[in-house]
Amino acid sequence: MPFVEAAAYLLGFQSWAQDESWSYRRMPGTGGVKRNDIIVFMHPENEKYIVKRCIGLPGDTLQISHNCRYINGIIQPESQEAKFSYNVKSKAENLPVDSLKEYGITNKDFLWRYKSYFHMSMTDSAAVSLKNCSLIDTVAIDDMPVGTNGPALFPPHYDVKFTRENYGPVIIPAKNKTILLNTSNVAFYIDVITKYESNLLNISGNKIYINDKETDRYTFKMNYYFMAGDNRYHSIDSRYWGFVPENLLIGKVSFMFFSLDPEQSGFKKFRMNRMFKSIN
């Protein structure tokens, strides 16, 4: 449990804003947001606290291709905590889940199973180890190509059907940066222009109007970020609801106060190896 959530839990606070609206309340002393920082922010679509990893900064061109993340065309290293979905076939049916615990795989990582076939989340290092397990026949990463039917991702009603494993490229808005707009890319920036920066936007045929004036460009007033959860298959993040404006950021998570194992009870629920641990 990241420090902000842990503090709220221990002190009895609700982990969402109770006010009708949320003003800019970023914690002082957090410094600038860097790529791969873990950030606490307000959810763009409701008023709950969210904790995700920042994978894209203002001005970045972000693309996810075959589960690999690229920034401005350069492949990026992943966090050791990042989990991806894999298709696994065991050599025998009804493989006990406990037999995979040594690989860091628990009940919650199983997405579905049928006889000797499994769909599960795991880290890349766990997948490499599992391939050498005597109980396992094959391990293959899940990789749905663009155009495959799946969950509805951001932006809605976009002509190209992105998937969790193949997304973008998309340019993340940056303050004072001007972007050329057309009917092919405007879907990415509708919320930015209207919801976050309080403009009126209309599209008529191939023409775009902002505040009743025809235009083919827009200059952003704020910085925006692209957030993702480390469990990439399970996480509902910027791939689903888009960019996070800077005025919704609250602070960084730099320390893990304690961590609970949902599959244990009593004292065993506390993951001692993850308590009082710095986060990177």
Edge-first strand listing for the sheet containing 74-75? 74-75, 68-71, 61-65, 167-171
Return the pLDDT at 6: 39
Backbone angles phi, psi at 10, to 5 degrees: -70, -35
Q: Which domains does the chain have, with CATH numbers?
A: 1-67+225-280 (2.10.109.10), 78-142 (3.30.70)
Return the pLDDT at 9: 39
- The band of 7, judged by pLDDT with boundaries at 50, 70 and 90, is very low
CA 188 – CA 80 distance, rounded (Å): 30
Q: What is the pLDDT of residues 226-276, one digit of tens each?
A: 999 988 888 899 999 999 999 999 988 765 544 555 555 555 554 545 544
The rounded percent of the chain whose pLDDT value lies above 90 is: 51
- Counting Cβ atoms within 10 Å, is residue 229 exposed (0-12), middle (13-18) or buried (19+)? buried
Residue with the bigger pLDDT between 109 and 137: it is: 137
Single-letter amino acid code for the residue at 225 = Y
Residue 222 has pLDDT above 80, yes or no: yes
Calculated CA dihedral for residues 27, 195, 55, 241, nearest 10 degrees: 120
* Sign, CA torsion 180/183/184/187: positive
Mean pLDDT of 40-63: 92
With CA atoms as reference, report the closest residue to 35 among 78, 84, 3, 65.
78
